[in-house]
Structure 1
Amino acid sequence: MSDKCDLCLLGLIILSSLLTGISGVDDVHEFISSGEKVRLSCNNALSDCKSTIWIYSSFSHSYSNHSETIELITLGIKKKDTERHERLSLESDCSLNIKNVTEEDYGLYICQQYVNGQKQGTDAHVFLHVLHVSSSQTEISPGRSVTLSCQLYSYSGFSCDDWVSYKGFDLLWVNQTGVDLKRDSRYQILSSHQYHCIITLTTTLLNEDNNREWRCQLTHRNQLQTSVTHTVKYSAQADSTTAVNPSLYRVIVSIVEIAVFAAPTVILLQIIHARRAGRKDSKHPEEIKMPAILQ
């Protein structure tokens, strides 16, 4: 019963926060790539983080069928019963650090201040948006088609149409030198801006694509916000069938060269030997001198 009450209270806190200006001018938006570390600022912190509470909310109807509301930090102390526990840390200014960010970390983070059970000031809202690249292919080798999907995971209150049409955000795939891959007919680039911000890259792999990098970039009015790099890695078996070790290659070339130059000499010696043998067999008996002792 106590757990249910705590959950209800936490829900009321979240609802109150949402109704008191979730889209206010003081809201902060952080864009980060999966695998990196992010710092979420608490701009309403008091002098002592012992009054700080960090709450995470991800009620989204776009990416999952359930909502999630979790208290991560309670009066300056990390909650140990959360999946993020090992990846969280609190700085001296009460900012929340998250290392090794995953696509599951996107959502709304709320920083609140409580002193003697009384809420102090207004809530600080930080929206975390995570850029993530995935591939459905398990076997990567030359001649196979590969599709990479780059998605921006955002809080449900923001549609991709809003980000692209009104706020000037965009997703694109570029090569190692930063050139947009839409310019290359070898790649098929498809974008979806209706509900989810997704851009896919499809191509047929070549031998020289091993260790090649493709990068998905999130830009805002042509200014880079964050990016995710995907490196093509062929399996050891694929490598051995498509490439020859340089040292082995040089040995093979040397053997072939020796064989090419030596072959005519061997053939000539065989011809000379055969002719000599033929001449000896054709001599008449009288032409063969008898040893002096027998004459």
Structure 2
Amino acid sequence: MNMMGIQIFIRLLLLTCLLQTGVRSVKDSMFVYSRIGAVALLPCTKPAPAGCSSITWTFFRGGLVRYSQEVTGGRVNPDSDKSSRTTVTSNCSLALSDLTVEDAGSYVCLENKEAVTDVYLSLLSVSSGSPITELRPGGNLFLTCILFTYYDAGSCKPYSNVFRVNWLDEDGKRLPGDDRRFKLTENTRCNVTLHIKLQAEDNNRKWRCQVDTTKDKKITFLDFRSSFLFQKAQMNQTVKPPVTEECPAELPISRIVLCAVLPLMVSIVGFFTWKSDHKRAKTSAAVIELQDVY
């Protein structure tokens, strides 16, 4: 290749780079993280047109390769399975409530069919596989943290180094994975199970699953609290010692009155019984005396 050809090649290469840079500058990329069951706001970075009539939102989910149109002409698509949970805000952003696993994916805000903002939504979930009877000192607590990512939910394939899930204690210290008390099973960087050998001080303790990313400096986390519910139920059923006092001070007023009046009633009945018997005895004596006179 001569000198002229090299110069033309360099100019074409520079032009291509400039064009690609220009395309990237038109469309913004946003990474949003939320939790299962929570609410997520997906921003459209373009200045909002009046009524959002020129705005369209599309959704793409990797793995299942699913594509749908969530908003058309600024209005929620009634045929979308997200329609009851979707709202278009005044600035044309998209608000999703009661998030589910299927909501994780790539969303695109378009104005007049031109892409304006790419929003990548990932969702965090923590679940426990331990029965309630294990929530006690000496029991075993298994906690699984999964990040459902926007392109390969929950798998974080080896070629991706964007995400990593870590388990922390309530003080923010990363838990060891080879300790007697703690063991970590890392299925992938987005799917990590923590095994805890519970102790008495773990009652009502908080365990945190945190997502570290290279795309966003914001810390994303989800907490789980290990409350010993079974032990609390036992404590609430503690038997009190029997009361041996005849009329203890803590008895209700009605029972106190009964305790005071009952002896008095017995005394009165006894008095009248004695008086009646005494009168009957005198009458009998009088009859005997009369009989003796005759």
TM-score higher than 0.5: yes
1:90 is aligned to: 88
Structure 2: gaps of 5 or more residues: 1-19, 245-294
**Does the aligned pair in 1 maintain the 2:106–2:151 contact within 8 Å?**
no
Q: Could you tell me which amino acid in structure 2 is paired with residue 31 of structure 1?
A: Y
Distance 1:206 1:83 in 2: 45
**Does the aligned pair in 1 maintain the 2:62–2:152 contact within 8 Å?**
no
Offset, 1:134: 1.8
Distance 1:148 1:89 in 2: 33
The Cα RMSD (Å) is 3.4
1:53 is aligned to: 56
Q: Give the alignment of 1:153-232 within 5 angstroms.
A: 153-156=148-151, 159-164=156-161, 167=162, 169-182=163-176, 185-193=180-188, 197-220=190-213, 224-232=218-226
2:139 is aligned to: 144
Query: Which structure has the bigger radius of gyration?
Result: 2
Q: Could you tell me which amino acid in structure 1 is paired with residue 80 of structure 2?
A: T
With normalisation by structure 2, the TM-score equals: 0.61
**Does the aligned pair in 2 maintain the 1:46–1:113 contact within 8 Å?**
no
2:117 is aligned with 1:124:
yes
Distance 1:113 1:220 in 2: 29
Distance 1:138 1:81 in 2: 40
2:72 is aligned to: 74
Sequence identity of aligned pairs in percent? Answer: 25
Q: Could you tell me which amino acid in structure 1 is paired with residue 92 of structure 2?
A: C
Offset, 1:208: 4.0
Q: Could you tell me which amino acid in structure 2 is paired with residue 56 of structure 1?
A: F
Distance 1:93 1:150 in 2: 34
Distance 1:188 1:157 in 2: 26
With normalisation by structure 1, the TM-score equals: 0.61
Distance 1:31 1:103 in 2: 12
Structure 1: gaps of 5 or more residues: 1-19, 61-65, 256-295
Offset, 1:185: 3.8
1:5 is aligned to: none
Q: Kindly tell me the number of residue pairs found equivalent between the two proteins.
A: 215
> CA-to-partner distance for each residue in 1:141-177, whole Å, 9 max, x for gaps?
324322111111113379454553xx4x432111222
**Does the aligned pair in 1 maintain the 2:181–2:198 contact within 8 Å?**
no
